[in-house]
Amino acid sequence: MIESSNKNYIKYSWFLLGVVFLVILAGGVVRMTQSGMGCPDWPKCFGMWIPPTDASQLPADFESYLSKQDIDHSFNVYHTWIEYINRLLGAILGVFIFIYSVWTSIKFSDRKSQMKKLLWTNLGLALSLVIAAVVGSSVLLKIAGVLFVLLAFYSLFFAIRHALDRPVVIVSILLLIAVAIQGWLGKIVVDENLSVVKITIHMVGALVIAALPLININILKERKISVSPFLKHLLSGMIFIVLLQIILGTQVREEIDVISKALSYEQRDLWIDRLGSIFIIHRSFSWLVLIGTIALYYKSRKIVGFVKASSLISLNVFIIIILGIIMVYLDMPAVAQPLHLFLACALLMQVFYARIRVV
Ligand code: HEM
């Protein structure tokens, strides 16, 4: 049963999850098109808030930006705009998450009216910050900035202290912190020219951000699904196996990144042949994912309210494996790469949500 007053909140949580996956997909497209360094600086792009659409609009010192580029050293409008749209989506997600945490803090607080007052004061100060910036007064800017930071922290404390339904509020604030860290990591990735280890951490960060709205949805949905202890353990094991497989996959991806770069992103038929043992491990590990999925399907086939979830999980595993096989036998078609990644992340979320829904 969902309390009717929570319906819109739950819908918004699903929407947030959808936007997270849109950002994950956009990240995959950036990689597929090798646009990662399309904007060589951060948060601006070629020192501009809205990047150029033509080489003639580049700043005079644009060479200093391009020298950081990973692949081509000429300006490529497609790379620039694909990367820019990717960043824009990330920023929009940040705004949506901010709205979510404010909404959660007010909705589940036992001091609603104080929370609202704090919100308005914060907004007022933010506005004065903008005005001070427009007017160009550095003294005003500093005063408004310090007050804003102090009040924002006080509001955060207040929200946590007076939260009636604490877990929901804490999860929403964790989400806000996670997205801020993720944005900062994005900057580091750009600064260090897409250093591979950081890419993996960035990926785990995205998975955490996707899991948090699901936790809130589960808290607010009162009716849980009752299953056998075996199925519960199986689901917990599946979370672990799929996560491990994703981490193995990212290691394969890091090798692919090195190989494809060495071959100037051409001769795709050679990429797989040059992979090391990590690929064999990743491929073989799929058997474990498959066996776990078949067991899950078999054990849950008679549980009302769970058959649909386990069928969708099975279908997803099937498609991911087919995409893996396509990459190997059809010389790495570019479109298969972001899809394989996208569906792998979705699989982890499916299994995770299934696990937290059962008792
Ligand atoms: C359920 C099983 C599987 C899962 C969850 C999974 C997951 C992943 C993930 C998360 C990545 C990283 C993608 C990226 O960061 O862009 C990856 C990469 C990769 N996987 Fe899998 N995978 C599975 C099965 C397979 C199979 C069966 C094969 C081959 C027969 C395969 C071949 C590859 C290859 C070639 C890459 C590198 C792709 C790239 O560079 O974009 N995978 N996998």
pLDDT tens figures, 245-266: 999 999 999 899 899 989 988 8
- 221 SS3 class: strand
Let me know whether 252 and 350 are in one domain: yes
Look at residue 150 and tell me if it is in a domain. no
Nearest-CA residue for ligand 1 atom 18 is 249
Nearest-CA residue for ligand 1 atom 21 is 249
The residue type found at 110 is D
- 358 SS3 class: strand
Residue 330: domain span: 225-359
Let me know whether 272 and 191 are in one domain: no
Digit-coded pLDDT (tens) for 180-189: 888 888 777 6
Let me know whether 185 and 261 are in one domain: no
Look at residue 156 and tell me if it is in a domain. no
Q: pLDDT tens track of the chain, all 359 residues?
A: 455 678 999 999 999 999 999 999 998 898 888 887 788 777 788 888 888 888 787 777 776 666 655 555 677 888 889 989 998 999 999 999 999 998 998 888 878 788 888 888 888 888 888 888 888 778 888 888 888 888 888 888 887 777 756 789 889 989 999 998 888 887 776 666 656 566 778 888 999 999 999 999 999 987 888 899 999 999 999 999 999 999 999 999 989 989 998 998 889 999 999 999 999 999 999 999 999 999 999 999 888 888 999 999 999 999 999 999 999 999 999 999 999 999 999 999 999 999 999 98
Digit-coded pLDDT (tens) for 262-290: 998 889 999 999 999 999 999 999 999 99
Residue 4's pLDDT is 63
Let me know whether 218 and 313 are in one domain: no
Look at residue 146 and tell me if it is in a domain. no
| Count of structural domains within the chain | 2
How many residues appear in the chain? 359
Nearest-CA residue for ligand 1 atom 22 is 249
- Nearest atom in ligand 1 to the alpha carbon of residue 256 is 40
Let me know whether 31 and 64 are in one domain: yes
Residue after which a domain boundary falls, among 171, 203, 223: 223
- Nearest atom in ligand 1 to the alpha carbon of residue 275 is 35
Let me know whether 103 and 238 are in one domain: no
Look at residue 125 and tell me if it is in a domain. no
Let me know whether 26 and 175 are in one domain: yes
Cis bond upstream, residue 43 (ω within 30):
yes
CA of 243 from ligand 1 middle (Å) equals 12
What residue ranges line ligand 1, CB within 6 angstroms?
A: 242, 245-246, 249-250, 252-253, 256, 282-283, 286, 289, 317, 320-321, 324-325, 327-328, 337, 340-341, 344, 347
Residue 218's pLDDT is 95
The proportion of the chain whose per-residue pLDDT surpasses 90, expressed as a percent, equals: 50
Look at residue 93 and tell me if it is in a domain. yes
Tell me the C-alpha distance between 224 and 219, whole Å: 10
Are residues 242 and 347 in contact, defined by beta-carbon separation less than 8 angstroms? Answer: yes
Q: What is the CATH number of the domain that holds 357?
A: 1.20.120
CA of 329 from ligand 1 middle (Å) equals 13
Entry pTM:
0.87
Are residues 67 and 73 in contact, defined by beta-carbon separation less than 8 angstroms? Answer: yes
CA of 320 from ligand 1 middle (Å) equals 8
Q: Retrieve residue 234's tokens.
A: 């199986």
Let me know whether 1 and 75 are in one domain: yes
